[in-house]
Structure 1
Amino acid sequence: MQTLDLVDALDGVEFGHGVHLDAQLAGDGDRVALVLPGAERARENSAFVAALAADHSVVLPSHPGFGRSPRPGWCSSVADLADIYLDWLERAGLTGVTLVGLQFGGWVALEIAVRKPARISRLVLVDSVGVKVGGPLDRDIVDIFATPRAELERRLYADPAFRLGDLALAAEDDVLELARNEEALATYGWEPYLHDPRLAHAIGRIAVPTTVVWGGRDGIVTPEYGRAIAARIPGARFERIEQAGHRAQVERPDEVAKVISALAA
């Protein structure tokens, strides 16, 4: 783990808001993958980052407010997060970037993709939220803030081995990171709940090849929800990963990384 400073990464070009993000950096491939995480703990993505780094240079930041990344007072919406990453991509001069959005990070990735950024060559969504696919009274996304912890973990992970379990018995650092991530998630996604109403139509403008990857046992947003997102994005492919819950990249890191690597093969 190391700190990615958005100012320093831009060869001294002043970003303007003093944004500093904690990030996992791995690999030295010619292809760059910008991976936007969900609310999982940072180390839960380590195996996925390592697998993807076999043929990519991977940058996986913690969003402002998550993990060890401070949140500036002005940053309070998914649109603000999208602006941060768009600005970084532009100033860093990266091209042909694979944008990967994991769960909540999929919402951020969609917000970026609808703006048709020239530096993004492909989009991958893994168990993404962010889109209202049902009617006004349909519950598309399980209310994670109201669901008891044990039930929530059952819905997040198909394999019990990945569940944190009784928080009273968990490591203090894990509990603190979990609490910080959930607080940040509420800041960005409380109202409307984990979606932007305009995205249901706006994602029809996405102009890069898109693959939607879904855990077959996702208990937060069903595979049917994922297929509905894919159906709204022109030409999008849908890939189902069996024996995985909401965080498919955590439970099946090699399988998800293989899907992504095959896109540029």
Structure 2
Amino acid sequence: MTSLADHPDLTLTVSEAGHGRPVLLLHGGGGPATVSALGHHLARRAHTLTPTHPGWDGADRPSWLTGIDDLAMAYLHLLHDRGLRDVLVVGSSLGGWIAAEMAVRDTAGLVSGLVLVDAVGIDVPGEPIQDFFTLDPPTLGAYTWHDPERFRVDPSTVTPQQQARQAANRETMRVLVGDPYMHDPKLRRRLARVRVPALLLWGASDRIVTPAYGAAYAAAFGDGRLVVVPEAGHLPHVENPTATLPHLDAWLDRRRESGA
């Protein structure tokens, strides 16, 4: 548990592993389990910090924390309080949105690189973000995965405790991303002022936010690059890690070789 100097009523649950360059790993709406394998991979070569967002998986959320901008500032304060610099921020889906919001607010220069994995957060005309809250489980699976059958969950195997946790996570999401849905109308134009390099990894079969949406996201950054991962949907690091992780590793090496 970590308390922030500026927010004593906010206690963050942060898992840490590994040594080296600091990497802040931010999960999406599915919770920290969706990035656990990615965290293990990163910890082989970096000091990896993986917080559980307030309101997810039973973590406390103070009443004032009502938007993604609040989370972005909280994580910048975390980096500051820890004395961390040259931080690579890696975010999946909702976590990618948080990472982008951190970058536009990072006046202290703590963040030196970004990796956004099928991120939400901007408005792209003609490429709407699918409404997560209106999709039934089979439809959500079809929109999320390249191979939905491989990741289909038998409802009878979900315990009441898991159901309650999932319902609570969804309610937290409603508070943080409900209006306007899953984006900050001002974020896209602000990204041009972000000068740290941004790698956007995108599943070719993602139907929550399409590769065309990802291309517009990458183009909005001052230094953005899109890589489309084949045979993968919204969570390419889960569905096709063999094709996803080398790009992330090369990004870490690129920054190291550039002297960052």
Separation in structure 2 between the aligned mates of residue 115 and residue 71 of structure 1, nearest angstrom: 21
Counterpart selection for 2:180 from 175, 189, 192: 192
Separation in structure 2 between the aligned mates of residue 216 and residue 96 of structure 1, nearest angstrom: 30
Counterpart selection for 1:84 from 59, 74, 78: 74
Separation in structure 1 between the aligned mates of residue 81 and residue 248 of structure 2, nearest angstrom: 25
Separation in structure 2 between the aligned mates of residue 60 and residue 53 of structure 1, nearest angstrom: 10
The Cα offsets for residues 24-75 of structure 1, whole Å up to 9 and x where unpaired, read as 32222x1111011101142232211111111111111111111131110110
Question: How big is the alpha-carbon RMSD for the aligned residues of Structure 1 and Structure 2?
Answer: 1.8
Separation in structure 2 between the aligned mates of residue 168 and residue 114 of structure 1, nearest angstrom: 44
Matching of residue 214 in structure 1 with residue 205 in structure 2: no
Matching of residue 126 in structure 1 with residue 123 in structure 2: no
Separation in structure 1 between the aligned mates of residue 29 and residue 188 of structure 2, nearest angstrom: 22
Contact conserved, 2:127 with 2:209, CA < 8 A, in 1? no
Structure 1 stretch displaced more, 184-193 or 14-23: 14-23
Matching of residue 181 in structure 1 with residue 172 in structure 2: no
CA spacing shift, 1:35–1:252, aligned 2, 3 Å: same
Amino acid at match of 1:170: V
CA spacing shift, 1:180–1:257, aligned 2, 3 Å: farther
Higher helix proportion, which one?
A: 2
SS at match of 1:121: strand
Runs of 4+ in 1 over 6 A off after TM superposition: none
Alignment map for 1:224-243 (pairs within 5 Å): 224-243=212-231
Amino acid at match of 1:77: G
Counterpart selection for 1:39 from 23, 26, 29: 29
Structure 1 stretch displaced more, 19-28 or 104-113: 19-28
Contact conserved, 1:41 with 1:174, CA < 8 A, in 2? no
Aligned-residue sequence identity (percent) comes to 34
Contact conserved, 2:15 with 2:51, CA < 8 A, in 1? yes
Counterpart selection for 1:204 from 167, 185, 192: 192
Separation in structure 1 between the aligned mates of residue 98 and residue 111 of structure 2, nearest angstrom: 14
Counterpart selection for 2:98 from 98, 102, 108: 108
Q: Which residue of the partner structure matches residue 75 of structure 1?
A: 65
Residue segments in structure 1 that go unaligned for 5+ positions in a row:
8-13
CA spacing shift, 1:44–1:196, aligned 2, 3 Å: closer
Counterpart selection for 2:45 from 51, 55, 59: 55
